Amino acid sequence: MSLNYIRNFYEGCLRPPTVIGQFHTLFFGSVRMFFLGVLGFAVYGNEALHFSCDPDRRELNLYCYNQFRPITPQVFWALQLVTVLVPGAVFHLYAACKNIDQEEILERPLYTVYYIISVLLRIILEVIAFWLQSHLFGFQVHPVFMCDASSLEKTFNVTRCMVPEHFEKTIFLSAMYTFTVITILLCVAEIFEILCRRLGYLNNQ
């Protein structure tokens, strides 16, 4: 029985009941994760090693880098991806435990409402992630970062730090914003598809 639950959960996650949901899974699972996993590491992988300040001292570089990056972009985006997956995963786990077929989800009003709530939660989480990303990283990476290192050593005060490959990071940052917006639009479109198909079921009855 437990293996049947796992199979139903796996199939539900891979093949949602809507066409747009299936495209979202493909886009989310393939393009976004590949972009983050491969290109993200290439762009941000050695950022801390090449981040240098004036004077170029290890403790100053580390202190200013932590000020420049309260959280590394790769960790933030990985947490975003995992968090956004949670509502859908919870719903499909519920469906697997109840032995609900994917076709039944849009045929029964209660299951449809639950599924719409999971999609709305994804939208909310993506919007929150977009807002946090804009506050943590901004929309552009500047080549010079002014670091307030006075608490580390009074002689430092405000020091200039050079940000490596700032143009590449700006492009990557823009791409991640774009992925978030596309995901939100797909979720909104999925809700419209659900409503249209529900109306179709009602008209057929």
Mean pLDDT of the chain: 81
| Whole-number pLDDT of residue 1 | 46
Compare 3 and 53 and report the one with higher pLDDT.
Answer: 53
| Whole-number pLDDT of residue 13 | 57
| Whole-number pLDDT of residue 185 | 92
Q: Is 52 helix (H, G, I), strand (E, B) or coil?
A: strand
pLDDT in tens, 16-75: 777 788 787 777 767 888 877 777 777 777 777 888 888 878 888 888 888 888 888 888
| Whole-number pLDDT of residue 38 | 78
Q: Are the C-beta atoms of 16 and 89 separated by less than 8 Å?
A: no
131 pLDDT above the threshold of 90: yes
Q: Is 144 helix (H, G, I), strand (E, B) or coil?
A: strand
12 pLDDT above the threshold of 60: no
Compare 156 and 175 and report the one with higher pLDDT.
Answer: 175
* DSSP track, 145-156: EEEE-TTT-TTT
Residue 72 to residue 102: CA distance in whole angstroms: 38
pLDDT in tens, 85-115: 888 888 878 877 777 777 777 777 888 888 8
Q: Is 66 helix (H, G, I), strand (E, B) or coil?
A: helix
22-204 placed in CATH 1.20.1440.80: yes
Q: Is the pTM of this model over 0.85?
A: no
Could you tell me the two tokens for 117? 């709530």
Domain boundaries, the chain: 22-204
| Whole-number pLDDT of residue 22 | 79
